[in-house]
Structure 1
Amino acid sequence: MGIGSWLGLWFGLSIPAILAMYLLKRKFLDTRVPSHLLWQRVLKNLEANRPWQKLQNRLLLWLQLLAAALLIFALMKPFIWTSGGGKEHVVLVADTSGSMSAVTTAGTGQSSEKRLEQLKREMKDYIKRDAKNSEITLLSMSAEPSVVISREKDHSRAVDAVDSLQPYFGKASYDETLSLASALTRDETDAEVVVFTDGQWRGNPSSIPFQVPVRVVTLESPVGFNLTLQQFGVKEEAGGTTAVAVVKNNSEAPKSAEVNVYGDGKLLKTASAEIKPGTSATLTFRALTGAEVYKAEVDGQDDYAADNEAYAFSQSADTPRILLLTPGNLFLEKGLQLTGAEVVKMTVPEAGEDTLSDQPGETAMPEKKPDLVVIDGKAPSFTSQGKWKKLLERTPVWTLGGGGSKVAVNGAQPKLVSHPVNRYASYSGVYIGSVLDQKLPDWAVAIASIENHPAIIAGSENGEPRLSFLFNLQETDFPLSSEFPIVVHEAVSWLTESGGKSLGRFTAGSRIEVPIAADTVSARWVAKDGMAKDMKVESQEADTGEKGLSALQQIPPIPGLYAFEQTNNAGEKLEYLAESAADPYEAQRDNKNEGLAAISEHAGGAETTASKASQAPSDKSRGEQSKVPLTTLLAGLVLLIILVEWGVYQRGRSI
């Protein structure tokens, strides 16, 4: 038994007060009065009483003293220790990082299970055994700390919450989750934080202050067999595509690694190497056939499957080929060259001129299909017929100016909307005298307007991006502005990357910028291959903001190949390919963090910090016990005594 507050003793002054009441109680003698004329003398005699008298054995006195004593005891907040009840509030921190998806045989005999399943079993055993009377708060970790349940008294719901935990393969918020646990217990005196982990912990947990005991339960998970596909890339060469894969052995024994390379789903080549523990091997695959997406896969099963695959995308579009149709514009030509693109210039006649080269069917097609066609001024007539028409229909096109009626805007400031082409543009100080007066095509939206007249329009037609500047560069001073090469670069980047090309490889759960087509009405992430497809990951809707789809999107948390699909009003789809890769930190089994600590229960709730990675030892005398307050019980006894006292008083036994 223990006392929670000795300040309750001050109420002990009530006991001498009760005794004083009985000591000073008036006692009168029975007197016979033969006539009412004698009442005056009797009243005088009544004033002669005995204020101090010997205490007598009265039941009412003892009941009142007992009630006062119980009230004093209740104000001292007494409690008793009971085994297995747990603290009043227990915060469970679940390590749900990617390494918890690894397979282990610890504690399961010959069968194997994932570490996360072992962690769930340990957590549920702890709730059942050591937190019978506790309120449960469960924290998990992903890109940010997550509160799964908060102060849950129903332990069946707590168990269901534990069963719902899933591994997170991105960069997990280790110390941020501990900081949240510290904040949730900062002002509590009967609480505990229990961390369940496999021992891998990024960061510096020893810097996080705690005012309650912290216990770390480390799973028994010995180092197993794991080969990690660290890097994978492809490069186009004269004899075909060359792929390079780097494989690391994160095991304690030499292992033979066999790696398969696929191109667009077809097996192309296989290579193998013997790798010593803790070292890496580089495998080279030459003369591969062309493909849009290449995949390297470690053949066979190991303990950690999240790092067994990697993807690479064809680099043929890294240096875009631009076909420039212009009567002559040095500023535009140099601006396109500054983007790093391969620019092929085709001189076309000025507007109004008629040459043989402008006759339909007589202009030769480019030898290689361009990635972008830029038309400066009025489009030549040969672009509207035959093979040229088909080329422009299936190629991104950027037009600048053109023929037709114009509207004078006299240098008014353009108003811009959010669009990748406008990312770094303001057009401040740029003089634009007039813009083309034409009806917007169905595919277009205005991304820059001057006095309510569209000046720049963008969109997608037949699945290909389109961009039009509705003013002639020669009639403005825009090419002299410092923003001109920046706008050209952003325009080329948006046009050449919007044709359904790759985004690259990113850590799961990270945020990246994705070009959004102007006419897109919906978008989603769709699993295409790898672990994501094997796990049948459902499509994930794209993130939205106040103005619709956000250009900043989160990579799906399950490793694999994904397509970011965009759909416009016509139902046409545009997709980008991206790889979601597991955090490489989780594959390293030697990342034991010495900052983890187990802090035994201490009195007074003094501030402490984690200092050593170990499992907290069980304190059989107190550590596995909990406080059960007696205040409610004592209050009930006092109420019962008051009822008995009232009954005694009514029966006249108080005198």
Structure 2
Amino acid sequence: MIQLLNPLSFLLVLFIAAVVFFYFFRKQYEEKLIPSNMLWREVMNEWQASPFLKRLQQNLLFWLQILALLLLMFALTQPSFSEDRLKGEHIVFIMDTSATMSADDRDMTRFERAKQEVKDLAKALQGQEVTLIKAGQKPEILLNRENRKRMVLQAIDELQLTYDHENIKKALNLAESVSSQSDTSWYIFSDKLTKDMVKQYDHDIEVHNIGKKLENISLASFGVGQVNGQIHAVAVIDNQTDKEKNIAITIKAEKKSVVTKEVKVEKKDSMVVSFSDLPAKPYYEASLAVNDGYTVDNKAASVYSDPSPKMYAAGEVNPFVIKGFETIGVELIQSDEVRIEKETGIVMMEGAEVGALPNMPAIVFNANERIELTEPLITKQDPIFAYVHPEKMFISHGKKTLVENGLETVLSSGSQPLIQRGILNGQPVIMVNFSIADSDWPLHPDFPVFLYNSYQWLANQSGFLGYFNPGEEKWMHSSSPGHVLGIYNDKDENLDSIDTEKEPMTAPAFPGIYQAVSGEEIFYFSVLLDEREKVPAVAASFTIDEQKGGEKEAGQQYNDSLILILAFLAFLVMAVEWEVYRRGFRT
């Protein structure tokens, strides 16, 4: 199909009209004295025999001038026709694998349609090199300068949604790093990419934004907790449509539906829905009964844990620590290690070896060999340091670290870890690698705040591995023989088994509740949908042609060879006109 890229050039028809207008004022006759009219009669006979040809000859210069002007005018309108071809010798395909690409687009999802379109382009390859980039939270190069069409199509078929939030900027920078030659074209498949995000890159870029606007209703958040001895749940429903909606929300306790409510949510508004007196279960799920074309944000899950477990102090614990926990209202029980093994709650102990830790959450005050500290304290932002400033305290000596693998260091002096936290032998642990007697921390007003934060963190982690992003990797520990950790979904289907001594655990991609099974122990964890993925926005497709510095709608490439053809024909017509004028072929 032929398109005109500069239709304003049709205004040049005014110049053609001016040429015609000037012809009305040209000199029509020239008076001459002739001796006889015999030749005139001969001319009239020829005129009457072929009048059309004679008129044409009489006005030949006029018609040549009009034709030349018309050809130039059409050339200036920049006519071009579209054709199916891939531009460039190095093709970079960038695929958005985020959660919103799972939204419906007519008879398939946005991601399925994107795969279909990129496969159609790949089939048109004519020996070009192809780089394929998966634009998830951590962009990844799946193919690098591959020129075998079969391998390209296979890699496209194997693409899967990651359900995380796309990091387009990092993916574009990754594409820039592999686009060394000038003859490189990018083909980006997403749903809401805008021109501002790509205009700084010096390449031909074609953006295919897949999808249409959806009437989306989202379960923005969901959580459970204990209030006055009862378990309550709170959900937030976000109506992103332009209409008032009646929405049914159902709560499941573990796998059994326990309550359903129908609420009315105003257009472009949110509503908080609360539930009370729920049965005690390890986890809860909320779901919306809506058909909005985007299902992944219609469900949410929350893991329940005892908010106020008992704390057991085993062995000799610094009295400042005991007094601190009593100050924040924790039920503290002095006990020995034998009795603790039969209890549930949180244990606090000093001088314990790793192998001697009980099978329960613990705060361990390391009593190993002392090490003098000479470097300043370095603090990492962490929940246990909320409203706490540990870098302001003085610590003279640290302790030789008991555990170096699996615990995250949140306070250190140089390379010496001072406070660590994480999962050890399947249980949450906070390790304090210095003696409270070697510091002035108990004299600081934020010391009880640290104890409170630590208690809350351990309580929330009991039987709960935490919240994960889709595909997030974390090193875990398993107390089972062989250190095997099995990952199961809510249907008790085994998704993966890992050796925790050799590899990290990778969270599943799809948001929801999962189980990590270590021997006889079951730990729950939740994969959360990114807040930015709860609005399935769309944008228009477009193309940036670097050579022309312009933008047009994405789809097909345009061939502008017609411009050169018309300009060449106009030049030929002007050459003929000059030759006619030179020979004096005028009546």
Question: Corresponding residue for 1:371?
Answer: 345
- Distance in 2 of aligned mates of 1:202 and 1:527: 39
Deviation at 1:543, TM superposition (A): 7.4
Amino acid at match of 1:196: F
Deviation at 1:281, TM superposition (A): 2.1
Deviation at 1:266, TM superposition (A): 1.7
Maintained 8 Å contact 2:303/2:526: no
Maintained 8 Å contact 1:179/1:208: no
Give the match's secondary structure for 2:543. Answer: coil
Question: Corresponding residue for 2:309?
Answer: 320
Deviation at 1:590, TM superposition (A): 3.6
Closer, same or farther in 2 for the Cα pair 1:315/1:159, shift >3 Å? same
5 Å-filtered alignment, 1:482-493, equals none
Question: Corresponding residue for 1:227?
Answer: 217
List alignment gaps of at least 5 residues for structure 1: 1-81, 106-111, 349-359, 379-391, 415-419, 433-439, 441-457, 624-655
Deviation at 1:398, TM superposition (A): 7.4
2:233 is equivalent to residue 243 of structure 1 = yes
Question: Corresponding residue for 1:95?
Answer: 96
5 Å-filtered alignment, 1:1-40, equals none
Deviation at 1:377, TM superposition (A): 11
RMSD over aligned Cα, in angstroms? 5.2
Give the match's secondary structure for 1:167. Answer: coil
2:193 to 184, 201, 209: 201
Question: Corresponding residue for 2:209?
Answer: 218
Question: Corresponding residue for 1:503?
Answer: 466
- Distance in 1 of aligned mates of 2:260 and 2:330: 35
Closer, same or farther in 2 for the Cα pair 1:157/1:252, shift >3 Å? farther
Give the match's secondary structure for 2:207. Answer: strand
5 Å-filtered alignment, 1:134-533, equals 134-188=128-182, 190-198=183-191, 200-201=192-193, 205-206=197-198, 208-210=200-202, 212-219=203-210, 221-238=211-228, 240-317=230-307, 319-324=308-313, 330-337=319-326, 340=328, 342-345=330-333, 371-374=345-348, 429-430=396-397, 477-478=437-438, 499-504=462-467, 506-510=468-472, 516=477, 522=483, 524=485, 526-529=487-490
Per-residue CA deviations over 1:387-429 (Å, capped at 9, x if unaligned) read xxxxx98766779999xxxx9x8x6769xxxxx9xx9999964
Give the match's secondary structure for 1:598. Answer: strand
Amino acid at match of 1:195: I
Deviation at 1:86, TM superposition (A): 4.3
2:584 is equivalent to residue 621 of structure 1 = no
Maintained 8 Å contact 2:487/2:514: yes
Closer, same or farther in 2 for the Cα pair 1:197/1:321, shift >3 Å? same
2:108 is equivalent to residue 113 of structure 1 = yes
Give the match's secondary structure for 1:230. Answer: strand
Per-residue CA deviations over 1:254-287 (Å, capped at 9, x if unaligned) read 4332111111222111112233443222221122
**Number of aligned pairs?**
443
Amino acid at match of 1:92: F
Per-residue CA deviations over 1:455-501 (Å, capped at 9, x if unaligned) read xxx99999878999999x8xx94476779969978986787567523
Closer, same or farther in 2 for the Cα pair 1:333/1:303, shift >3 Å? same
Question: Corresponding residue for 1:641?
Answer: none
Per-residue CA deviations over 1:3-42 (Å, capped at 9, x if unaligned) read xxxxxxxxxxxxxxxxxxxxxxxxxxxxxxxxxxxxxxxx
Amino acid at match of 2:495: E
- Distance in 1 of aligned mates of 2:84 and 2:556: 16
Deviation at 1:245, TM superposition (A): 0.8
2:533 is equivalent to residue 586 of structure 1 = yes
- Distance in 2 of aligned mates of 1:192 and 1:467: 51
Amino acid at match of 2:103: A
Deviation at 1:342, TM superposition (A): 0.7
Closer, same or farther in 2 for the Cα pair 1:543/1:583, shift >3 Å? farther
Closer, same or farther in 2 for the Cα pair 1:287/1:185, shift >3 Å? same
5 Å-filtered alignment, 1:66-77, equals none
Amino acid at match of 1:342: V
Closer, same or farther in 2 for the Cα pair 1:117/1:427, shift >3 Å? same
Give the match's secondary structure for 2:174. Answer: helix
Maintained 8 Å contact 2:396/2:439: no
Question: Corresponding residue for 1:27?
Answer: none
Q: TM-score, normalised by structure 2?
A: 0.60
- Distance in 1 of aligned mates of 2:122 and 2:105: 23
List alignment gaps of at least 5 residues for structure 2: 1-82, 374-381, 403-420, 563-587
Maintained 8 Å contact 1:498/1:515: no
Deviation at 1:305, TM superposition (A): 1.9
Maintained 8 Å contact 1:175/1:203: no
Structure with the greater alpha carbon radius of gyration: 1
Question: Corresponding residue for 1:626?
Answer: none
Deviation at 1:246, TM superposition (A): 0.9
2:113 is equivalent to residue 126 of structure 1 = no
5 Å-filtered alignment, 1:574-653, equals 574-590=521-537, 592=539, 597-600=542-545, 602=547, 614-615=553-554, 618-621=557-560
Closer, same or farther in 2 for the Cα pair 1:327/1:502, shift >3 Å? closer
Maintained 8 Å contact 1:261/1:268: yes
- Distance in 1 of aligned mates of 2:554 and 2:480: 57
Maintained 8 Å contact 1:86/1:134: no
Deviation at 1:619, TM superposition (A): 1.0
- Distance in 1 of aligned mates of 2:544 and 2:428: 61
- Distance in 1 of aligned mates of 2:160 and 2:276: 39
1:558 to 492, 505, 510: 510
Give the match's secondary structure for 1:136. Answer: strand
Closer, same or farther in 2 for the Cα pair 1:168/1:376, shift >3 Å? closer
Question: Corresponding residue for 1:39?
Answer: none
- Distance in 2 of aligned mates of 1:482 and 1:217: 60
Of the structure 1 ranges 458-467 and 578-587, higher mean CA displacement relative to structure 2 is found in 458-467
Question: Corresponding residue for 2:8?
Answer: none
Deviation at 1:126, TM superposition (A): 1.9
- Distance in 2 of aligned mates of 1:296 and 1:343: 33
Maintained 8 Å contact 1:525/1:542: no
Identity rate of aligned residues, in percent? 20
Question: Corresponding residue for 1:38?
Answer: none
Deviation at 1:370, TM superposition (A): 5.7
Per-residue CA deviations over 1:497-530 (Å, capped at 9, x if unaligned) read 67523524x4324466x7747999635461332x
Question: Corresponding residue for 1:447?
Answer: none
Maintained 8 Å contact 2:426/2:478: no
Deviation at 1:94, TM superposition (A): 1.8
Question: Corresponding residue for 2:496?
Answer: 539
- Distance in 2 of aligned mates of 1:431 and 1:589: 51
Maintained 8 Å contact 2:187/2:208: yes
Closer, same or farther in 2 for the Cα pair 1:616/1:121, shift >3 Å? closer
Deviation at 1:431, TM superposition (A): 9.9
Deviation at 1:538, TM superposition (A): 2.3
Deviation at 1:230, TM superposition (A): 0.6
Deviation at 1:174, TM superposition (A): 0.9
Maintained 8 Å contact 1:139/1:148: yes
Closer, same or farther in 2 for the Cα pair 1:346/1:218, shift >3 Å? closer
- Distance in 1 of aligned mates of 2:456 and 2:278: 28
Maintained 8 Å contact 1:463/1:499: no
